[in-house]
Amino acid sequence: MTDPGLKDIWVYLSASPLLGLTMTLVAYGLAYRLYLRTRSNPLANPVVTSVVMLIGVLVLTGTPYNDYFEGGQFVHFLLGPATVALAVPLYQQFSRLRQLWLPVTISLVCGVTIAAGSSIGLAWLLGGSTEIQMSLAPKSATAPVAMGISEKIGGLPSLTAVLVVITGITGAVLGTKLFEWIRVTDDTARGIAMGVAAHGIGTARAFQVSPQMGAFSGLAMALSAFATALLVPWLVDLMQFLVSQSSSS
Amino acid sequence: MNFLNGITLLLVYQLVGEVTVRLLEVPIPGPVLGMVMLFVTLLIRGQAPESVDQASSALLSHLSLLFVPAGVGMMVHFDRIAEEWVPITLALLLSTIITMVATALIMQLTSRWLVGARQGKEPDGD
């Protein structure tokens, strides 16, 4: 970039949100096309490919994340209204939900508790710091919810956002294979499990398997966002209390 | 215009949610409260207006795109992740698998016991 003209253009672009926003949409567009080209192979998940592409470009051009996020924030912001928007599929599935309210409630409460409890417990057993344990705890909830909870219980919200995305990808990639192994064939159960464990990224995957699995995954994601917000801070207090009891005695 | 109305309504619910959460100091994120309030509104009205339906499906059909900027944030945490990569990767992977398997099995069993018993069970084949 010795040419002064090019340099001016670069100075302009790196100071404006235009580049970050356009890069995000172009990368996602390419990633999505690749995903369709591989006939929706879960390994080619568009979130993974676009994140890898974007990090590659940012590292190569020496652009700091904050400069990129000037533009990326417009996309990130939409997670809020998207969370509110979950009320619509929830409402559309209401008659089915009312029929299944008891199994759904039991599965949700168990699922959310297992998701948070097992990640705190495993991270603790493997020697992770408290900050890491707390950042991992809400990882199965959708990003805006998980970040809010992480902040409340003493994790790092921005690290949680990353862990939430990795969790979603893990769930979306492994989900259908896991359900085959444990012989869960019912799309309702598969959808609920996908939504509880792998939030929106899992839900996007579930919609590709069947509309019913997608609807229930969306439903489980919405309800578990709510359940995580209510249960996880309380669960963390309980676990910390148990640890302090066992170490003091 | 319809789409704009839908988006506006979603934002209004989010805003009311955020304000309420702060005023009442409840430990629930604002958008989640907004979602609950919109859900209750739809139940009371008995139908989802087309504008809200349109805006919501537009946002939800590209849900994975919305996670991309947060995912790119990984580059800020490279050091942290490199330092504690064993607990992070193993806890995340195992816990996600455990959660998914347990939830699927619990849902399948409880819906068979609780709903299947009451309704004389739908045929199983698919």
Query: How much of chain B exceeds pLDDT 70, in percent?
Result: 89
Q: Can you tell me the distance from the alpha carbon of A227 to that of A16, in angstroms, rounded to the nearest whole number?
A: 39
pLDDT of residue A50: 93
The pTM (predicted TM-score) of the whole model is: 0.81
User: Based on the domain organization, do B1 and B54 belong to the same domain?
Assistant: yes
Same domain flag for B45 and B89 = no
Residue that finishes a domain, picked among B61, B81, B112: B61
Residues B31 and B9 in one domain: yes
> Count of CB atoms within 10 A of residue A99's CB?
14
CB contact under 8 A, A222 and B35: yes
Judge if B41 and B81 occupy the same domain: no
> Which comes out higher in pLDDT, residue B118 or A233?
A233
Question: Mean pLDDT, to the nearest integer, of B36-54?
Answer: 91
**DSSP secondary structure string, A80-116?**
HHHHHHTHHHHHHTHHHHHHTHHHHHHHHHHHHHHHH
Residues of B in contact with A85 (CB under 8 A): 10, 35, 55-56, 59-60
Residues in A closer than 8 angstroms to B110, CB to CB, are 102-103, 106-107
Q: What is the ipTM of this complex?
A: 0.84
Q: Are residues B56 and B79 in the same domain?
A: no
Q: Mark whether A142 and A176 lie in a shared domain.
A: yes
In Å, how far are A141, A191, A230, B16 from A235, measured between CA atoms?
15, 25, 9, 28
> pLDDT grade, residue B97 (50/70/90)?
very high
In the predicted model, residues of chain A with pLDDT beneath 70 are 1-4, 248-249
Question: What pLDDT, in 10s, does the model give residues A150-188?
Answer: 888 888 888 888 899 889 999 999 988 999 999 998 889
> Do A70 and A99 share a domain, yes or no?
no
**Domain interval for residue B83:** 72-126
B31 touches chain A (CB under 8 A): yes
* Residues A63 and A115 grouped into a single domain: no
Q: Are A162 and B71 in contact (CB < 8 Å)?
A: yes
Q: How far apart are the C-alpha atoms of A76 and A208, rounded to whole Å?
A: 23
* Residue B67 included in any domain: no
Residue A93 φ then ψ, to 5°: -95, 10
- Average pLDDT of the segment spanning B7-29: 90
Domain boundary among A51, A77, A103: A77
Q: Give residue A161's pLDDT.
A: 86
Are B51 and B80 within one domain?
Answer: no
Which of A22, A48, A79, A88 to probe the B interface (max B CBs under 10 A)? A88
Boundary of a domain, candidates A56, A77, A98: A77
Asked if A236 and A123 sit in the same domain, the reply is: yes
- The total number of structural domains in chain A stands at 2
- Say if the Cβ atoms of A102 and B108 lie within 8 Å: no
For residues A89 and A109, membership in a common domain is answered with yes
Residues 6 or more apart from A236 whose CB is under 8 A from it? A116, A120, A134, A137, A153
- Strands (DSSP E) contained in B3-125 are none
**B124 has pLDDT over 50:** no
Taking the Cβ of residue A198 and every Cβ of chain B, the question of whether any pair is shorter than 8 Å is answered with yes
Which residues does chain B have within 8 Å of residue A24's beta carbon, measured at their own beta carbons? 65, 68-69
CA B92, CA A136: separation in Å to the nearest integer?
Answer: 7
Question: Per the domain annotation, does B125 fall within a domain?
Answer: yes
Please indicate, yes or no, whether residues B83 and B123 belong to a single structural domain of this protein.
Answer: yes
Domain that holds residue A229: 84-248
Number of structural domains found in chain B: 2
- Residue A101 and residue A215 in one domain: yes
Does residue B66 form part of some domain?
no
Predicted local distance difference test score (pLDDT) of residue A113: 93
Tokens standing for A81? 């209204």
* A residues 155-184 closer than 8 Å to B (CB): 156, 158-159, 161-168, 170-171, 174-175, 178-179, 182, 184
Distance from CA of A71 to the nearest CA of B (A): 9
Q: Same domain, yes or no, for A189 and A146? A: yes
CB atoms within 10 A of CB A174: 20
Cβ under 8 Å to A: B residues 61-120 = 63-77, 80-81, 84, 86-88, 90-108, 110-111, 114-115
CA dihedral of residues B29, B35, B38, B39 (deg, nearest 10):
-130
Are residue B78 and residue B117 in the same domain, yes or no?
Answer: yes
Residues A168 and A234 in one domain: yes
Q: Rounded to an integer, what distance in angstroms lies between the CA atom of residue A150 and that of residue A152? A: 5
Claim to verify: residue A125 and residue A71 sit in the same structural domain = no
Last residue of a domain, one of A35, A51, A77: A77
Clarify whether residues A72 and A141 are in a common domain.
no
pLDDT band for position B119 (cuts 50, 70, 90): low
Looking at residue A239, its pLDDT comes to: 84
Compare all CA atoms of chain B with the CA of A112 and give the residue at the minimum distance: B99
Do A136 and B17 count as a contact with CB atoms less than 8 A apart?
no
Indicate the pLDDT class of residue B123, thresholds 50, 70 and 90. Answer: very low
Residue B13 has what pLDDT?
96
Residue A154 and residue A219 in one domain: yes
Mean pLDDT of chain B: 85
Q: Identify whether residues A65 and A120 lie together within a single domain.
A: no
